[in-house]
Amino acid sequence: MEKIPIILDGDPGHDDAIAWVFAKADPRFDIKAVVSVAGNQTNEKTTRNTRAICALLGIDAPVARGAVRPITADPVTAGNWHGDSGLDGPKMPEPDQELSPLAAVDLMAKVIEESDKPVTIIATGPLTNVAELMIVHPEVKNNIGCISIMGGGLTHGNWCPAAEFNIFEDPEAAHLVFHAGIPMMMCGLDVTEKAIVLPSDIDRIRSVGNQVAEVVAGWVEFFIRYPMEIGYAGAPVHDPCAVLMLTHPEIFETKDLYVDIELEGEYTRGATVADFNGRPENKPNVKCALAIDRDKYIDLLVEALHAYDGREVKIR
Ligand code: BDR
Ligand code: CA
């Protein structure tokens, strides 16, 4: 089977972790590198979580530490959603491989340069690493097939009324990436808040019966608390959508749109502004997800978890 080389870039984060569960489970993907970024928690914490998730799932690609802060914005973290560790809840295995000696941008560039096929980047955190890759290694652009992101929202935000967390965290990075001229896919809050895991789904996840399913059930049990307190029906498990847009496009409705990033607005900094009217000067730069089949999403999660049947690692 022709595999697609991919780089996972995230700030785990419960939903980043579940995104990587999907990515590792799909036999069409060849994970070439995993890089961490500051976002849901400090980079030190997201890097530790990245390494533990790789040990849990059996991802043996090199792991590199990425950006410790946004390009110019003041860093914020989302401990209210993800806890003090950034991945509170079930116990995790110890990391089983050393960190790459390369910085994330250099590892990403190496993977892309050495690949005989275009590499896909799946970015589920702030876009700092990807933007820095464009700045430090602009020559690799031509061998990036696609950047699939969870970020933004075409109608609303979550961190503030107009901006979603990943874009709000580093709007300058997002601006650079959205204008890089590389094919992009965007799953914003419009679909990811519909990618809801309900309390009643947790038993179904756990009943898959393997170790990874047990951990994922535990992650959802932690991750569901805060959103339910503030009025969601369950846990919006955002980040896997950026994986599923590539592997299961049939569960989404999409539209090619021109999307720009607001960098100035007093109330709107970090907003993703889409031109739904298709003005001639605004050539579409992003394939945007507009709707998702939630029931299929849960079915696919259960199916992905079965890929880990028989896998058992030591948990501390
Ligand atoms: C995004 O922000 C983070 O808290 C999640 O991991 C997700 O990537 C949702 O706004
Ligand atoms: Ca994330």
Q: What is the CATH number of domain 4-308?
A: 3.90.245.10
Taking only the tens of pLDDT, the chain with its 316 residues reads 889 999 999 999 999 999 999 999 999 999 999 999 999 999 999 999 999 999 999 999 999 999 999 999 999 999 999 999 999 999 999 999 999 999 999 999 999 999 999 999 999 999 999 999 999 999 999 999 999 999 999 999 999 999 999 999 999 999 999 999 999 999 999 999 999 999 999 999 999 999 999 999 999 999 999 999 999 999 999 999 999 999 999 999 999 999 999 999 999 999 999 999 999 999 999 999 999 999 999 999 999 999 999 999 999 7
CA of 295 to the centre of ligand 2 (A): 22
- The model carries a pTM of 0.98
pLDDT at position 222: 98
Q: What is 143-206 written as a DSSP string?
A: GEEEEEEE---SS--SSSSS--HHHHH-HHHHHHHHTS-S-EEEE-HHHHTTSEEPGGGHHHHH
CA of 10 to the centre of ligand 2 (A): 6
Residue from 9, 81, 149, 156 whose mutation best tests the ligand 1 pocket (most atoms within 8 A of CB):
81
Residue with tokens 């756990």: 206
Any idea where the domains of the chain sit in the sequence? 4-308
Report d(CA 197, CA 6) in Å as an integer. Answer: 26
